[in-house]
Amino acid sequence: MKRAALLWLVLVLAASAYLLTRLLGGVQFQTDFTALLPQEERDPGVQQAKDRVAQILNRRIVVLIGDRERATARAAGAALAEELRHSGLTASVTYTTSGDGLRKLGESFFRYRFGLLTAGDRALLQQGRGEEIVARALASVYGPIGIADANLLRHDPFLLLPTYLADLPRPLPRLAPDDGVLSTQDGQEHYVLITAELAGDPFALAFADRFVARFDQAEQRLRAATPDLRVLRLGTIFYAEAGAAAATRETSAISIVSLLGTVLLVLAVFRALRPLGLTLLAIGTGVICAFAVSLWLFGTLHVAALLFGVSLIGIALDYCLQYLTARFNPEDGTPAQRLRRVLPGIVLGITTTLIGYLTLLLAPFPGLRQVAVFSAVGLVASFATVLLWLPALDQAAPLAHGEGLLRAAGWLWEFWEEPRRRYRWPRQVLCAALAVAALLGAWRLRAEDDIRRYEALSPPLKQQEAELRRLTGINGGTEFLLVRAADEESALETEESLLDRLQQGKAEGVLSGFQAIAQVIPSAARQRDNRTLVRDRLMAPFLASYDERLGLPAGAAHDVGDPGPLTLAAIPAGSPLALLHDLDLGAGTGGAMHVVLLYGVARLGALRQIAEAVPGVRLIDPVGDLTRLLGQYRRRAVLVLALSALLMLPVVYWRYGLRGGMRVALPPAIAVLATPPLVALAGVPFTFFNAMALVLVLSVGFDYAVFCRETDAAHRPATMLGVWLAMATTLLSFGLLGASRVFAVHAFGITLLVGTLLAFFAAPVAGTSTTNRSRLSQGGQ
Amino acid sequence: MMRPLWFALLLVIAAAPLALGRPLEQPPLRPGESLSGRFVQERHLAGLTAPLVSEGRFLLAAGKGLVWHTEKPFDTTIVITPAGLLQLVDGREVQRLPAARAPLLARLYTMLGGALGGDWSAMAQDFSVERRSGEAGWTILLKPLAGDDPAAVPLQSIAIAGSAFVDSVEIHRPNGDWDHLTFSNEVRSSAPLAGADARLLETDAP
């Protein structure tokens, strides 16, 4: 035994050393959700695109400033833009788009003008209706809103370029420049728009704190000057900061209550510090070994696997407490005796639990495998510590102060099994009430994988977002299309055939808008084709009479030579179209990769069909992917749960026979089956997080039942005290998570809370077999 | 680029009813009233051998908007209402611009409303206003003040002259191009709108 304990010490030290070197060596934990996908469903290109688009979307903030006085709104806008620009926290701030930027764009496009046709003009020329373009040009030249001077008419007689520029897609459909500032009017209020790109990661808490604090300060200063000013903000960073602030407050509250509660409970029961230290030692060695072995096996770990793994190891507490409460048995004087007393229960408990955890290995999902290995290794290590170290470290004599505690702990047993059937009625009423509640809940039970709907986002921010979206027409989601091709030209050509279909989809209400490079930069082939159309169907038949009619001097230079194709590189940085550069992900991929942003997607299915109809195009739906992933994981977890329950049955059958085995299986079965409907009664849907909590509930249920089954009448109170303590510590460490406002945490916590309580409540049922009954009646005589 | 012309156009409209009777004293057009007449527009573009001349008729309906119908040398119509702008060629829509996409247009309406009521303060934010009246009639000279973005105002001056009604308007641009508009046959009416004008201002409006 001593040799084994020493060997175990060597192993734990080795694991600690390995873990330390890995952690100091800067191990990278996986955080992205695709790492949890089965291998064959991963695609590095898609991941890169997702990251890039997420970065574009997440790093942008949009601010709308409104006042009844136009001048006040503009002054406030300029002041805030200046403040943001000088904060050092933004990469760029856009407030004034000077006519200069537009003019530069016009200048850089001018050479290519005859290759650039709006979809409408192109269609007119293809149909041989060039005279309609001529009529429109004449109306513009003569009309009260004349945009042309003689110079423009000489070089672009039919005003094709102004038409093209006016037709370019606008990401902010309701805004228009007013004296250089993107503005809109709503009733009496004048609004101006500021957009900015952050210099840092909105999810990096320190950065988010700094930025939002700076922004709040600036807003307060503006309000001090103009109390009625409206400031509407939208950006991932505002939500991230508000969420993190709420979570930090909540987490510290929960963990303080949890830690204090656990410590006080253990101190109150044992009236000594040592049991607390021993408990921590058992859990600690478990986590260290689990961590080290998992890193060694997988090379890295996903943070989600880490969190679930640590939670699942928490069950080792049950075994530790069983051993520790054996000290309340007066006749078990030595640690060895105590260990012998509880060993059968612990071994059976850990066997069933291991079966439960290892079944997770059968799911072909990397996340679940990591959880399985992590929790199984941790559990075995904790068990080894209880077995090998605790008796050596715990030489104290039996505890004598426990009479009241033991009586209280034994009460639950009496409730189920007292001889005079005093509790028969309450028992029946309670069981019936539980059954009715579970049935009612089963009726409300439904699965949900789109956890966004349950995220508690800051309501004032949501309100501002809704208002800002209404005023600006911003309605972008997270979906986008990914276009991949061998080279830039074929990517543009692919986009062109895609754009025709998207236009059709827009007319049918599939989506409200889109933004693509090819809307601004036609493919070289299309530009050539456009030039031919302009030359043959517009210039040749109509130019001479047009010039004559306007009185343009003969010999005006209508330059239709080939300047080569307009390319993305021609768009100057800082121009209103600079965003297009963000849509080009081609660099470093060997081919071309473009993103097409989508706005106001109403029918995702129809959009998917559009994408599938064009080779090289793929619809990427990050939120939908996460929802599907969680759905797959949820279904797997439930299957695994059922399978592991089946696999546990032979173990209890082998030990207790058919009837006894059934009795032992009853409490965990009740807990696992009744918990989801009871939780559903509280309006919480069934998610992957509930399913993972149920894996733990099943193990806890078997543990409690096995402990109750293994004990005899004389030691029953000490056993029940151990079960009672295990239940209370589980609730303190995990059940409290039910109070969280983070949905996943809340779902996990509340399921564990209800499940553990049910498992605890029903545990004595496992012990009330005929053999126990005869012993009990002997004890009663 | 469209800005100076909207200004010019709307200022003309603002000034026209202003000239009815006692200038600058009381709102000349009451709700339900309208003013209509004919116009001739000469556009002088540098480098063109002759000015581009067009003519047609206009209708201004208080609280509803303006119809600017060019008949010669070809048929084209522009409708401006508080909701936005609509352009038709031969009765077919070629351009439509909702006011939300053009806050400038909405602002011009504020100015217009002010000018119609004799309040030139909204106008004075963007223009220096110089008024003169004599025996034969009156003139108003407007010059743009420098805005936040000077490039956005390629407009040098607008001169409006009239007596009982607006008689002529001259708009000069920095590049030397200029427009000259003359108005005639102006009639004030309180009869309800009818026909194509009513449809354009009341149902087809953007």
Q: Which chain A residue lies closest to B90 (C-alpha atoms)?
A: A135
The predicted structure's pLDDT at residue B203:
64
Whether A742 has a pLDDT exceeding 50, the answer reads yes
> In the predicted model, is pLDDT for residue A253 greater than 90?
no
Per-residue pLDDT at B63: 72
Give the position of tokens 């926290």. Answer: A89
Averaged confidence pLDDT in chain B: 72
User: What pLDDT score was predicted for residue B115?
Assistant: 55
Note the residue count of chain B: 206
Asked if residue A292 has pLDDT above 80, the reply is: yes
In whole angstroms, what is the distance from residue B41 CA to residue B72 CA?
10
Q: Using a CB cutoff of 8 Å and minimum separation of 24, what contacts does A501-505 make?
A: A501/A610, A501/A613, A501/A614, A502/A596, A502/A610, A503/A119, A505/A606, A505/A607, A505/A610
Q: Does B102 touch chain A (CB under 8 A)?
A: yes
CB contacts under 8 A, A 104-133 vs B, are: 132
Alpha-carbon gap, residue A55 to A445, rounded angstroms: 37
Whether residue B47 and residue A70 make contact (CB cut-off 8 A), yes or no, is no
Residue tagged 């079944």 (tokens) = A359
Q: What is the pLDDT confidence band of residue B27, given thresholds at 50, 70 and 90?
A: very low
Query: Which of B7, B39, B42, B45 to mutate to probe the A interface, most A CBs <10 Å?
Result: B45
- Is A482 within 8 Å of A617 (Cβ atoms)? yes
Q: At residue A53, does pLDDT exceed 90?
A: no
CA A302 to chain centre: 14
pLDDT digits (tens, 9 = 90+) for A304-314: 788 778 877 87
pLDDT at A771 over 60: no
- Give the whole-angstrom CA distance, residue A509 versus residue A749: 42
Chain B nearest-CA residue for A149: B45
pLDDT score, position A60: 87
Name the pLDDT band for A669 (thresholds 50, 70, 90). very high
Stretch B128-137: mean pLDDT, rounded? 78
Residue B166 has pLDDT above 50, yes or no: yes
pLDDT band at A390 (very low <50, low <70, confident <90, very high): confident
Report the gap between the CA of A165 and the closest CA in chain B (Å): 12
pLDDT confidence tier of residue A384, bands split at 50, 70 and 90: very high
Instruction: Round to whole Å and give the CA distance between A546 and B70.
Output: 19
**Pairwise CB contact (< 8 Å): A141 & B48:** no
pLDDT of residue A695: 87
pLDDT at position A499, please? 92
Residues of chain B contacting residue A96, judged by C-beta atoms under 8 Å apart? 148-149
Nearest by CB: B89 against A139, A141, A177: A139
Query: Hey, how many other C-beta atoms are within 10 angstroms of the C-beta on B37?
Result: 17
- Chain B interface includes A174 (CB < 8 A): yes
Instruction: Using the predicted structure, report yes or no on whether residue B201 has a pLDDT greater than 70.
Output: yes
DSSP output for chain B: --HHHHHHHHHHHHHHHHTSSSTTTS-SS-TT-EEEEEEEEEEE-TT-SS-EEEEEEEEEETTTEEEEEEEESS-EEEEEETTEEEEEETTEEEEEEEGGG-HHHHHHHHHHHHHHTT--HHHHTTEEEEEEE-SS-EEEEEEEPP-S-GGG----EEEEEESSSEEEEEEE-TTS-EEEEEEEEEEEE-SPP-HHHHHHHHTS--
Domain B3-202 class, CATH top level: mainly beta
Where is average pLDDT lowest: A66-80, A241-255, A375-389, A695-709?
Answer: A241-255
DSSP class of A34: G
- pLDDT score of A455: 66
A162 in Cβ contact with B95 (< 8 Å): no
Where do the domains of chain B lie?
3-202
The pLDDT of residue A127 is 93
What is the b/e burial string over A229-241, where b = at least 16 CB atoms within 10 angstroms of the residue's CB? bbbbbbbbbbbbb
Q: Summarize pLDDT for A460-503 with one digit per residue, the tens.
A: 888 888 888 888 877 777 888 999 888 889 999 999 999 999 99
Residue A775 has pLDDT above 50, yes or no: no
Among B50, B89, B149, whose Cβ lies nearest the Cβ of A136?
B89
User: Is pLDDT of A330 > 70?
Assistant: yes
Percent of chain A with pLDDT over 70: 92
Q: Quick one: pLDDT band at residue A50, thresholds 50, 70, 90?
A: confident
Band of the pLDDT at A109, cuts 50, 70, 90?
A: confident
pLDDT single digits (tens) B60-92: 887 777 888 889 888 888 887 777 778 888 778
The whole-number pLDDT of residue A578 equals 76
Domain boundaries, chain A: 2-21+271-444+624-780, 31-59+466-523+571-620
Q: How far is A492 from chain B (nearest CA, A)?
A: 28
Check pLDDT > 70 for residue A703. Answer: yes
pLDDT at A81 (0 to 100): 93
Nearest CA of chain A to the CA of B118: how many Å? 20
Q: Tell me what pLDDT residue B120 has.
A: 60
Residue A616 Rama label (left phi>0; alpha psi -120 to 50; beta): left
| A128-162 pLDDT, tens digit each | 988 888 888 888 888 766 667 777 888 888 888 88
pLDDT surpassing 90 at residue A675: yes
User: Best interface-test mutation with B: which of A141, A178, A548 has the largest number of B CBs within 10 A?
Assistant: A178
CB A359 within 8 A of CB A640: yes
Model pLDDT, residue A63: 93
Which residue from A517, A492, A530 is spatially nearest to A124, judged by alpha carbons?
A530
- Between B140 and A15, the higher pLDDT residue: A15
